[in-house]
Amino acid sequence: QVQLVESGGGLVQAGGSLRLSCLASRSISSINRMGWYRQAPDKQRELVAHITSGGFTLYARSVKGRFTISRDNAKNTVYLQMNSLKPEDTAVYYCNAYDINYNYWGQGTQVTVSS
C-alpha cells in the first residue's frame, strides 16, 4: 500500500507560480507511473501530467509548456511546478500512484488562481 500526501497548494494571482509536492509513504522508484490530476467544481477529474519510472512524461494539452512534473526517488516525492497560472487552473489537485496491481490517490490540495 502507498499513502500519498500532497502539499503546496494555495491562492495565487494569475501569472504566478506554485510548486506542489506529493510525499509517498514508501519508495516510489518501482512505481510504474506517478501523476497529478485535478478536479474543478462540477467537472470530472482530469489528468494534468504523469511521469513513468523511466522518466517519460505526459502532459495535458492545457498545461503543456507551463507545468513540469518531476520525481525525486531518493525523497519518495513527486513535484508539479506550475508557472504562468491561469484562473482556469483553479481546482483540487490530486497525486496518483499507478501500477498494474494498484491505483492510489492522495487527499488533494486546493489551488486557487485569482484574475
> pLDDT for 18-72, tens place per residue?
999 999 999 999 899 999 999 999 999 999 999 999 999 999 999 999 999 999 9
- Supply 31's cell numbers: 512505481
User: Pairing state of beta strands 67-72 and 109-114?
Assistant: unpaired
Amino acid at site 45: R
Percent of the chain topping pLDDT 90 = 96
Distance of CA 70 to the CA centre of its chain: 9
CA dist 76 and 27 (Å) reads: 5
Instruction: Determine phi and psi for 88, rounding to 5 degrees.
Output: -70, -5
First CA to last CA distance, the chain: 40
